[in-house]
Structure 1
Amino acid sequence: MSIQPDSWIKKMCKENNMIEPFLDHQVSEGKISYGLSSMGYDVRISDEYRIFTNVNSSLVDPKNFSEDNFIERKGPHCIIPPNSFVLAKTVEYFRIPKDVLCICVGKSTYARTGIICNVTPIENEFEGNIVIELSNTTPNPAKIYSNEGIAQFLFFKSDTQPETTYKSKNGKYQGQTTIQVAKIKK
Structure 2
Amino acid sequence: MGLKSDKWIREMGQKGMIEPFCEKQIGKNVVSYGLSSYGYDIRVGNEFMIFTNIGATLVDPKSFDEKNVIEVDAAESGYCLVPPNSFALARTMEYFRIPRNVLAICLGKSTYARCGIIVNVTPFEPEFEGHITIEISNTTPLPAKIYANEGIAQVLFLEGDEACEVSYKDKKGKYQGQRGITLPKVLK
TM-score bracket relative to the smaller structure:
over 0.9
Shift of 1:119: 4.0
**Equivalent of 1:161 in 133, 155, 163:** 163
- SS for the counterpart of 2:45 is strand
CA distance in 1, matches of 2:163, 2:56: 46
Cα shift readout 1:63-86 (whole Å, capped 9, x = no counterpart): 111100000011111000111110
| Corresponding residue of 1:32 | 31
Q: Does 1:105 align with 2:104?
A: no
- SS for the counterpart of 1:7 is helix
Counterparts in 2 of 1:36-185, with a 5 A limit? 36-75=35-74, 76-185=78-187
Cα shift readout 1:112-171 (whole Å, capped 9, x = no counterpart): 000000142010100000000000001111000000000000000001110000000000
What TM-score comes out, normalization by structure 2 length? 0.97
8 Å CA contact 2:121, 2:134 repeated in 1: no
8 Å CA contact 2:131, 2:180 repeated in 1: yes
Q: Does 1:4 align with 2:4?
A: yes
Size of the aligned set, in residue pairs, is: 185
Cα shift readout 1:37-58 (whole Å, capped 9, x = no counterpart): 0000000000000011011131
Shift of 1:22: 0.3
How large is the RMSD of aligned CA atoms in angstroms? 0.8
CA distance in 1, matches of 2:86, 2:95: 26
Cα shift readout 1:24-43 (whole Å, capped 9, x = no counterpart): 10000000000000000000
Q: Which runs of 5+ in 1 are unaligned?
A: none
8 Å CA contact 1:105, 1:120 repeated in 2: no
8 Å CA contact 1:46, 1:90 repeated in 2: yes
Structure 1 residue ranges, 4+ long, deviating more than 4 angstroms after superposition = none
- Whichever residue aligns with residue 184 of structure 1, its letter is V
CA distance in 1, matches of 2:13, 2:92: 16
- Whichever residue aligns with residue 153 of structure 2, its letter is A
CA distance in 2, matches of 1:121, 1:147: 22
- SS for the counterpart of 1:78 is strand
